[in-house]
Structure 1
Amino acid sequence: MSEEEKKDKPVETVDDAVKTDQVKKVDEPKAEKSPEVSTSDNPEKAEKTEKKEETAADLLGANIEQVKIRKAKGSKNITSGICYVVATFNNTKVSFTDMKGNVISWSSSGKCNFRGSRKSTAYAAQVVTQDAGKVAMSHGMKEVLVKVKGPGMGRDSAIRALQSLGFSVSSILDVTPVPHNGCRAPKRRRV
């Protein structure tokens, strides 16, 4: 068969079409001359371009990993403060303040993407404390007085997370409100 007969014959598969040149080829972009190709002419330039590509990739990775920490215009480094841990049956909230009570950072289980029954777990309390603690450390906080409120499961794990972050815990206070026969308590569960 001659080439003209092959072109006139109907094509059954894509491979046959490519072999008979019946498929229109897409123009490939012309490769620009890069310094890497001409390594024999100038090897120093080739090394520099390779380094630039690596650093750009490194910078992109670094931007993803960094957490934005916002400081107020008149903020100063705060070395000591108070950490409030509110551990209820349904949630755990942590906030760091200076000694006057101005909030520096805060976090909660919902903010850390825990939903439903996972919000009240001890692990959620640990993650919440680390989240708020990192921001407080970036403001220069090193020593904390811990005030714990509520009967939740996150009480102890929040304090352990503070110590693992490197905070020096000066004292731990339990400030859970105790009623002197105030409001009627919720009905008992029958399980």
Structure 2
Amino acid sequence: MKANTTKLVVLSVLFTSNNILFSVTHLNGNVMFWTSSGSKKSKGTKKVTLTTLSVAVKAIATWINNAEYKSIYVKTKGFNKNKKNVLKHLKSTFANVSLISDETCFPHNGCKSAKARRV
């Protein structure tokens, strides 16, 4: 593996209704490693349980420790009831979390509804 010029890595966490996706990228956006709770051999509603999330976070932690990155910038996006638990698990697993940001887009009024059809 090539020597790391920057020791900062970006961990993007996308919370969907059925799955949680993790991707580790450089600062310029090149994906180096990714995993999801569905790729850990869990199906259906079991993908958003705490045990599968902890397995996915442990997989990311082992990869980052092997790649010898020092600090992590965490970006989260989406809504899920386990978001706080995932962030707590990330903070306890990684010693140097430099920044946590939430980039969830929240519609304040939503799209314009369709006009009622008159027959």
Which TM bucket (shorter chain)? 0.7 to 0.9
So what's the TM-score if we normalise by structure 2?
0.79
Distance in 1 (CA, whole Å) between partners of 2:82 and 2:55 is: 10
Higher helix share: 1
How big is the shift at 1:147? 0.7
1:63 alignment counterpart? none
Letter in 2 for 1:125: L
Letter in 2 for 1:134: T
How big is the shift at 1:80? 0.9
CA contact (8 A) 1:87 1:154 kept: no
Structure showing greater Rg: 1
Q: Match for 2:67 among 116, 127, 139?
A: 139
Q: Match for 1:121 among 38, 49, 62?
A: 49
Q: Match for 1:94 among 10, 22, 25?
A: 22
CA contact (8 A) 1:88 1:151 kept: yes
2:81 alignment counterpart? 153
Letter in 1 for 2:89: A
The structure with higher relative contact order (CA 8 Å, sep 6+) is 2
Higher strand share: 2
How big is the shift at 1:154? 3.3
Gaps of 5+ in 1: 1-70, 185-191
Letter in 1 for 2:32: I
